[in-house]
A and B are shown apart, each in its own frame.
Chain A
Amino acid sequence: MRYGPLDVLNGIDFEIRTGEVVALLGPNGAGKTTTIEILEGFRTRSAGQVTVLGLDPARGGEQWRARLGVVLQSWRDHHKWRVRELLQHLGRYYARYATPEFPRPWQADELIDLVGLSAQADKRISNLSGGQRRRLDVAIGIVGRPELLFLDEPTAGFDPVARREFHELVHRLTDIERATVLLTTHDLAEAEKLADRVLVLAGGQIIADGSPDDLALRLSAQAEVRWTVDGQRYVHPTDEATAFTRKLFTQYGEAVEDLEVRRANLEDTYLTLVEEHEQ
């Protein structure tokens, strides 16, 4: 993919299997949105081969489009419409693409209930709160019961409660619908929570690909041990957490309190990866 003389994506190669939840991570300008928009069929690539649900997105027709869900960030579109009215209307476009395996669309009321907007079903969209609007965005994205769902920074600007609710919603979706999901995010805790697999994109290339645990293990064997003895708090980084903890017990026995062994989390891993890449 190229903007003018600049290649934004270069030699990226990955595969997402049915039912997987994959998070695409990377610093700003790494090419996450470009990647996702090429896959959505909203952007044409300058080179390379892409197959989404068996077809090239640049040539995917309406039938292909019906199997995708794209969660867009709303702004003020359809602000005069009411929640149920819009979901019912948009759902009707999917009816002709229903299959026994994927009955399309979702019943509007069922969907409204799923995203927790029942009390707002007859409200004008302009009267929804920011969090409610985002949930409506998700509902619109999945109204056609997509086999593949794209979420581009779905929780940007959420408060912690809205974020937690959104995560529960995605879990429900992947559990009930077994949909395949590709999401981008800057929130590493979010990726760790939602994704089966993480792709790290930096400088237009994939620099890591694996489950959050795999990546943490692969990159850093180091752990952090924290404990208290006689009310005094200690922190010690170590490569051999087990041996170290054992020594601790030998030395202090029962006096060791509040013991914590903390593996590197996805955030540590991610920061290490990006830093290495930049050097």
Chain B
Amino acid sequence: MIRTVIKALAVTFRQWRYGLLALFVATLLLFIAIWLPNLSFLSYLFTNSAFSWATRLSILGGSLATLQLNSTPISRTILFILVVFAGVNVSLLVYYLKRRLALGREMGLSLTGTILGLVGVGCASCGSVVLTSIFGLGATAGFLSLLPLRGLEFGLISIFLLAVSITLISRKITDPIACPRKP
């Protein structure tokens, strides 16, 4: 199982743009996690004309330090693992969907048909991937919204669900897209 995930990661991140996407998603989620508990302050910061844009950006940057102040080493570790897993999850999903769409086009399928095929429950080869990934991302979002409660147990569950999601997509990515000699 781990070998499958490593193989899928190697295939996907061989193209630098997927690495960049993972980094972007992870960074975005990290910032959201940090700023989420301070939404009212951020709202005040951006609606009050007393602040210049330079000041706003400076305060935003400074707010990164709140991660150090408002969290324990364990919760920070969980948060970092979560955002990295979420970034990897999104990259793998995008890679997989792009490949499926490309093959679908070569087979003459319509875009709509391909997307329906990807989501459809009856599709034996690919159906569960999209829903599982959304499930995984939902878990992340759920965790992020629960961050102020500092419920570490939710973080651990989210990591588990994202790991399941990554494993399932990896299996799909490493499928050889071939008719096997022995069915």
The reply to whether chain A is a binding partner of chain B is no
Which residues of chain B have a CB within 8 Å of any CB of chain A? none
Residues of A within 8 A of B (CB): none
